[in-house]
């Protein structure tokens, strides 16, 4: 069997076009230009690159950005006061704090300074808590988990009653993905670094989501024939044959997995583009919330 490739790039392009149309429609009915405030603390080059990509993508769909860089020496209080100011600024609809923050800062405490209606990353404990509660919905779903769900849905995967295995339990990917799948009536097993016999657990999955940050951990013989595999991992492996000296691989051994899975996301070009598209969707939604509240 050769797996069907779930093309995150083209699905993300569809979503960006939908967001661009949504921005025009919002402005057309007297709403504001959706505006995202980005905050980078310090000068982590990878974070700066991710942010640049997000700003460019925002500009392409008509979303405005205010870009802020705080010194890597900023104190907890300085960062929190700054985020509180953005939360109170009516020109700002969404706030994105680029993570990780420098290690001496308490991320959770900073994130709680974001008003939940501006929490476009969906990491505020109230939004995450609502994701976990039956009968309540968050205002925003974290972008990478939302991207995984969209890929599953648009690739035709059946969620209801399916057995899903999520590898990883981080706050930003593994745990919210697991909660989302439960909300969509999958039966979910969450695995982590202490899980015993990981390959055997994975073999039970109709849907396998890998978010561990370990290059090609998941081998072809861990995958149930016909399963849907979503590979969130982004890992650098040395490769002297490339100009950069490395290449990017996922958490799944792709060339083994495509022989077994029913469908699979590539890395790059799978989940990655969906994360940015999700941020744009959430920012538009935040501006819609602001407009609806001001009109009420």
Helix (H) or strand (E) holding 285: helix 271-295
Q: What DSSP element (H or E) covers 21?
A: helix 8-28
Whether 262 and 6 have beta carbons less than 8 Å apart is answered as no
Which one is catalytic: 98, 118, 206, 281? Answer: 98
The two three-digit tokens of residue 288, written as one number: 């819609």
* 44 sits near ligand NAP (criterion: CB under 6 A): no
Active site residue 76: no
- Could you give the string, one character per residue 168-207, with x where binding to ligand NAP holds by CB under 6 A and - elsewhere? xxx-xxx----------------xxxxx--x---------
**Residue 239 appears among annotated catalytic residues:** no
How far apart are CB 160 and ligand NAP at their closest, in Å? 25
Number of residues in the chain: 296
Out of 184, 235, 269, 289, the residue judged to bind ligand NAP by CB under 6 A: 235
Query: What does the DSSP 8-state code read for residue 220?
Result: G
> Smaller CB distance to ligand NAP: residue 92 or 179?
179
Q: Is 168 left (phi over 0), alpha (psi -120 to 50) or beta?
A: left
Residues 213-232 that bind ligand NAP (CB under 6 A): 213-214, 217, 232
Three-state secondary structure call for residue 281 = helix
Instruction: Select from 22-30, 152-160, 180-188, 268-276 the region that touches ligand NAP (CB under 6 A).
Output: 268-276
- Active-site choice (119, 121, 231, 251): 121
Q: Is 98 a catalytic residue?
A: yes
* 112/93 Cα distance (integer angstroms): 16
The answer to whether 233 contacts ligand NAP (rule: CB under 6 A) is yes
Contact between 212 and ligand NAP (CB under 6 A)? yes
157, 228 contact by CB (below 8 A) = yes
N- to C-terminal Cα distance for the chain?
55
What is the set of active-site residues? 54, 98, 121
Residues at the site binding ligand NAP, with contacts judged by CB under 6 A: 144, 167-170, 172-174, 191-195, 198, 211-214, 217, 232-235, 271-272, 275
């Amino acid at each position: 069997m050769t797996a069907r490739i779930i093309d995150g790039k083209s699905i993300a392009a569809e979503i960006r076009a939908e967001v661009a149309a949504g921005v025009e429609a919002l402005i057309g009915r007297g709403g504001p230009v959706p505006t995202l405030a980005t905050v980078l603390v310090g000068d982590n080059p990878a974070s700066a690159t991710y942010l640049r990509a997000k700003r460019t993508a925002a500009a392409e769909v008509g979303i405005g950005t205010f870009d802020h860089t705080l010194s890597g020496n900023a104190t907890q209080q300085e960062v929190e006061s700054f985020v509180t100011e953005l939360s109170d600024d009516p020109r700002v609809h969404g706030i994105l704090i680029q993570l990780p923050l420098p290690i001496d800062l308490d991320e959770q405490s900073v994130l709680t300074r974001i008003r939940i209606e501006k929490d476009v990353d969906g990491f505020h404990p109230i939004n995450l808590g609502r994701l976990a509660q039956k009968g309540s919905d968050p205002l925003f779903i974290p972008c990478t988990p939302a991207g995984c769900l969209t890929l599953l849905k648009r690739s035709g995967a059946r969620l209801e009653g399916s057995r899903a295995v999520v590898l990883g339990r981080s706050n930003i990917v593994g745990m919210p993905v697991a909660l989302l799948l439960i909300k969509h009536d999958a039966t979910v097993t969450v695995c982590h670094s202490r899980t015993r016999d990981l390959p055997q657990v994975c073999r039970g999955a109709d849907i396998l989501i890998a978010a561990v940050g370990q290059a090609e951990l998941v081998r072809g013989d861990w995958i149930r024939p016909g399963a849907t595999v979503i590979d969130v991992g982004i890992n650098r492996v040395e490769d002297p044959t490339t100009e950069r000296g490395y290449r990017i691989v996922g958490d799944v051994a792709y060339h083994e997995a495509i022989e077994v899975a029913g469908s699979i996301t590539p890395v790059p070009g799978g989940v990655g583009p969906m994360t940015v598209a999700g941020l744009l969707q959430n920012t538009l939604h935040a501006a819609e919330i602001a407009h609806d509240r001001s009109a009420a």
